[in-house]
Amino acid sequence: MFAMKLTLILLGAFLYLVGTLGWLFWFGPDLVGTGTTEALLCAFAGTCAWLLISFGLAIHIIKTARPAGSLDKPEA
């Protein structure tokens, strides 16, 4: 079970890294370099999607590391 979870975590990290590098260094600059209105709107939408994914991933990591209710006072 641990090997499966580790594999999924590493696969997710790899896919996020490839997607981030691809967007920031290949797709995004190519769309901005094209300069048409449609390409610029796609670049804006893609950047918004990338930011939402990054923010969601950060929230997921924080909630997994410290589940809700962990700061509550222990019951006596």
Domain range for 61 is 23-65
With respect to residue 30, please indicate whether it lies within any of the assigned structural domains.
yes
Give the position of tokens 């967007």.
Answer: 23
Selection from 47, 50, 51 nearest residue 29 by Cα: 47
> What is the domain count for the chain?
1
> How does pLDDT run across 46-67, given as a tens digit for each residue?
999 999 999 999 998 888 887 6
Evaluate whether residue 15 is within a structural domain.
no
What pLDDT digit, counting tens, does each position of 6-46 carry?
999 999 999 999 999 999 999 999 999 999 999 999 999 99
> Residue 2: pLDDT band by 50, 70, 90 thresholds?
confident
At which residue do the structure tokens 């990591």 appear? 61
- The pTM assigned to this predicted structure is 0.76
Query: Is there a domain that residue 75 lies in?
Result: no
